[in-house]
Amino acid sequence: AQSVTQPDIHITVSEGASLELRCNYSYGATPYLFWYVQSPGQGLQLLLKYFSGDTLVQGIKGFEAEFKRSQSSFNLRKPSVHWSDAAEYFCAVGGGRALNFGKGTSLLVTP
């Protein structure tokens, strides 16, 4: 069965610091992997996705993620966080059409 684990419920980083959000998945084959961001009161916006090929994928807003098959991970990174990055981040995995979402990581950015 598919499952997604985001081990960190909350993360606090200082503005300008680097960020890594963790995502581990369980899936029987090579999955499609996604990171979405949700600002308060808003819907979900796609940051980046991995289907195949280069395991380091670039997304919008300066985010990147690396697919590591051996670790069943798809961690999201950003070298320098901006205050506007404060939001909820969701990792998702799918193999067909329906996606299985993690429970999310809430990011707080301090001055």
**Does 34 interact with another protein (rule: CB under 8 A)?**
yes
Angle (nearest 5°) at CA 12 between 66 and 46: 45
* Paired sense of beta strands 10-14 and 73-78, if any: unpaired
According to the binding rule CB under 8 A, does residue 68 interact with another protein?
no
CB 47 within 8 A of CB 110: no
**Is residue 97 within the footprint of another protein (CB under 8 A)?**
yes
Strands (E) in the chain, as ranges, are 3-5, 10-14, 19-21, 24-26, 32-38, 44-50, 56-58, 64-68, 73-78, 87-94, 100-101, 105-110
- Binder of another protein out of 65, 85, 87, 102 (CB under 8 A): 102
Tell me whether residue 73 or residue 101 sits nearer to another protein (CB atom). 101
In the complex with another protein, the residue whose CB is nearer, 43 or 111, is 43
Among 10, 28, 40, 43, binds another protein (CB under 8 A): 43
The contact set with another protein (CB under 8 A) reads: 32, 34, 36, 42-46, 49, 51, 90, 94, 96-104
